[in-house]
Structure 1
Amino acid sequence: MSVLTSEAEPLLRVTALESGYGKIRVLHGIDLHIAAGEVVTLLGPNGAGKSTLLRAISGLLPVNAASVRFDGRDISNGTPREAARAGLVHVIEGHRVFTQQTVTENLLLAAYDLPRGERHARVDEALSFFPEIAQKRHERGASLSGGQQQMLVVAQGLVRRPRLLMLDEPSAGLSPVLVDRVLTVIAQLQKQGTAVLLVEQLVEKALAAANRVYALSQGRIVLEATTSEANLPQRLERAYFGHEDAAAV
């Protein structure tokens, strides 16, 4: 695995991000960066603001007093469509497939604005990561198990050939075998040069898949570290309970 080792501009840099819902401020001055081809996991207790952060980065929520730069461009308060076209794709927690459409049709919908001659090739490419649903490409979404539908949701993101894929709780509702399948896909994507920002409740698996980790608590980054640190579990525990200041490594 590779980590950011120079002062080169990262693929994603978030500076002083504040966001929330209406007058309710959830995020308070978030600083975060991700290098090209890097896997970063975002951990924190329920209600810490993890999903809110991903939504703000991808344009689903407005940001205040912040800079969000992707591939050297300012995308602060851009739209999700603009972010996806730039190569930043957000797979939203709890997203559902169109159950009356086939697997292929679901994926073609994700490719709707791509050149017509390229769409089926992108679908085939996305399905190559998930043999379980590739075998059912002509079946309706309703025929898939809950775990297979979750894999289809991830495949919809892969149709876009993202430079950065943000995954929000991809293991939700999955069996251990399918969780490992998703984590294998993350490793494959990294080998191809795709960066991943992973929000995940399965802490050990998330850390095993990542180069670096940020811990979020009450809308603030309370820890930043490499996942190779020997004392990382203890630092995470202290960060969650408010006994450690945010520390960059």
Structure 2
Amino acid sequence: MPTSAPDILLEVKGLSAGYGKIGVLHNVALSIATGEAVALLGPNGAGKTTLLKAISGLIGRGGEVRFAGRDMAGAGPREAVAAGLAHVVEGHRVFTQLSVFDNLLLAGYGMAKTERRRQVDEALAFFPEIAEKRHDRAGSLSGGQQQMLAVAQGLVRRPRLLMLDEPSAGLSPVLVDRVLAATRRLRQDGTAILLVEQLIEKALATVDRVYALARGTIVLEARADEPKLPERLERAYFGQDAHAPLEA
């Protein structure tokens, strides 16, 4: 799915970021269209989590980030969420002592009461397994169910873009499939997706396009259905395949 200017929801140009004096990302550029699903792939330590944190304002960054036509310079997580950008961090972090329902109410903090309840119900509708446990403590859920809850938290504000960092981490294959199936349903409902995932085959079955990140830079861009893409990704990770632009 090529992105044209009117369709671009997220546009990143010349982004650099790191931690203190340690640079992690260098001159990163990517774009995501409205309603598009994109995977960000790469080896461990490539900078994938850092890139998501930089986009959502969790860490400082250089370069340009534009979301829904708005310059996000200086914007932190609160402003990103208000603009319609939700970031589900790695590790299905939920409030384990609170109920499923209360976790979701907290995700909608600041919304009008009636709207917040409606959005919580809509978020739960994507995950029947945890909807049945809405009054149970989040800590009593399985790892996969906690991951579903973390994704549902990101949906309460009806984001235009949902960024998911390793949603399959620590899950059984069955639960991975359930979480990714929910991601596909979200995309069909109009939510754009930026997915960081180590399970390449499952990621490619979920998204339209792929960016590969290695050594803090984008080393490949391609359609998810491109022939022999896994082999090209492996070569790109190790510097044996030049950056390949998306073909029309």
Please give the TM-score of this superposition, normalised by the length of structure 1: 0.96
From 67, 70, 86, the equivalent of 1:70 is 67
Choose which of 193, 197, 201 in structure 2 pairs with 1:200. 197
Match of 1:93 in 2: 90
Structure 2 gaps, min length 5: none
| Correspondence list, 1:63-212, <5 A | 63-64=61-62, 66-212=63-209
Q: Which SS does the other structure have where 1:8 is aligned? A: helix
Moved over 2 A (4+): 4-9
Unaligned runs of 5+ in 1: none
> Paired residue for 1:57?
55
Contact 1:12 1:70 in 2 (8 A): yes
Does the 8 A contact of 1:35 with 1:195 survive in 2? yes
Secondary structure of 2:163's match? strand
One-letter code aligned to 2:240: H
* 8 Å CA contact retained: 1:43, 1:213: yes
- Secondary structure of the equivalent of 1:230? coil
Report how many residues are paired.
Answer: 246
Aligned equivalent of 1:40:
38
Alignment-mate amino acid for residue 14 of structure 1: V
Matched AA of 2:105 = L
Once residues 89 and 243 of structure 1 are traced to their aligned partners in structure 2, the CA distance between those partners, rounded to angstroms, is 34
Aligned to 1:209, what secondary structure does the other structure show? coil
The 8 Å contact of residues 80 and 86 in structure 2, kept in 1 or not, is answered as yes
Counterpart of 1:28 in 2: which secondary structure? strand
CA distance in 1, matches of 2:149, 2:3: 34
1:217 counterpart residue number: 214
Give how far 1:214 is off: 0.4
1:9 CA drift (Å): 4.9
Read off the aligned partner of 2:96 and give its amino acid letter.
T
Looking at structure 1, the residues matched to 3 and 67 of structure 2 have their Cα atoms a distance apart, in angstroms, of 18
- What per-residue deviation string (whole Å, max 9, x for no partner) do you get for residues 90-142 of structure 1? 00112421111110000000001111111111111111111111100011112
**Shift of the alpha carbon at 1:188?**
1.0
Kept in 1, the 8 Å contact 2:58–2:77? The answer is yes
SS in 2 for 1:89: strand
Change (3 A) 1:217 1:229: same
Q: Report deviation, 1:211.
A: 0.3
The Cα of 1:246 is off from its aligned counterpart by 1.1
RMSD: 1.1
Aligned-partner SS, 1:187: helix
TM superposition shift of 1:5: 4.8
C-alpha contact (below 8 Å) 1:59/1:76 kept by paired residues: no
The whole-number CA distance in structure 2 between the counterparts of 1:232 and 1:35 is 21
